[in-house]
Amino acid sequence: MTYCVGMRLDSGLVFLSDSRTNAGVDQISTFRKMTVFEHPGERLMVLLNAGNLAITQAVQQIVCERLARGQTSVWNAGGMLQAVRVVGDAVREIYARDAEALKEAGIEFNCSFIFGGQIRGESMRLFQVYAAGNFIEATPENPYFQIGESKYGKPIIDRVLSPATELGEAAKCALVSMDSTLRSNISVGLPLDLLVYEADQLRVTKFVQIDQDNEYMQMIRNTWGARLRQVFSEIPDPTWRDALAPAQTPRLETAPCAPVRAPLPAGLETDQLPGSMPIQLVAQTPDPKPR
């Protein structure tokens, strides 16, 4: 598996990908998941991929090699919308060629892509491409996409990111998101590729490959973990309704309530708790009222 994230901000784009691929615990390899299409001064586009490695590499190869005269490619597309259609068409081409054979072998046609960048004469755009070759575009309300093992790194992005976020802060957010994923999922691993694109530059402006010796990534891992523990310890423990506490203390329980209790087996006796009442289960039929 893998984890990739792309962010579209007012000031630029941020792309981050890991490089781990595994086919079981004994077959873990490193394959870079980021491909950059750069024609300085004319266009800069980035493709991130996740899913079945054979499928994503086949799609990537088609996108890179589609250069026939009169054929639309990412290099001559008139805009980002036309360029992302090239990626979608490549996915459909591989599906038409391989999907049936994969199905017979019991293998799912699994791939997804993040594709974004800028072509001279238009604004930056960011897309997510699905296994059917269709795609959606990032919006101000949803300025980022994740593919692969996305659940571990999503909470920090949701709490921090907005279109107005500065590129440096967005890159930090992406790295914290990746660190959370690395911490919780063995199928995501170093090294990482981080590309930060400044709006209207039409070239790679900032790029780094991050390994286990990277000082900034080590700082994030140590600092983020320590600060999380600090914030956690500063949050008060739950205060119950009957506990002695200052008047303004937020209480966990504010009114009496009872859990759903299973009915006692016949023959067992228990004292009725004050203020409690038997819980009627869905499968139980209430006794008819006496006439």
With a cut of 90, say whether residue 106 has pLDDT above it: yes
With a cut of 90, say whether residue 67 has pLDDT above it: no
With a cut of 80, say whether residue 275 has pLDDT above it: no
CB 223 within 8 A of CB 241: no
Candidate from 2-16, 30-44, 179-193 with smallest mean pLDDT: 179-193
Q: Where are the alpha helices (DSSP H) in the chain?
A: 53-65, 80-104, 154-160, 167-184, 215-234
With a cut of 60, say whether residue 291 has pLDDT above it: no
Model confidence at 33, pLDDT cuts 50, 70, 90, reads very high
- Give pTM, 2 decimals: 0.86
Mean pLDDT across the chain: 91
Query: What's the whole-number mean pLDDT along residues 66-91?
Result: 94
What are the percentages of helix, strand and coil residues in the chain, rounded to 5? 30, 25, 50
Candidate from 27-41, 76-90, 95-109, 119-133 with smallest mean pLDDT: 27-41
Matching residue, tokens 């991929």: 49
pLDDT of residue 69: 80
Q: Read off the pLDDT of residues 148-158 as tens digits, 9 standing for 90 and up.
A: 999 999 999 99
Tokens of 2: 């893998």
Domains observed in the chain: 3-229 (3.60.20.10)
What residues contact residue 15 under an 8 Å CB cut-off, 6+ apart? 4, 5, 6, 7, 34, 46, 48, 114, 116, 193, 194, 195, 196, 197
Single out the residue of 178, 176, 170, 181 nearest to residue 219, CA to CA. 176
pLDDT of residue 22: 65
CB 50 within 8 A of CB 56: yes
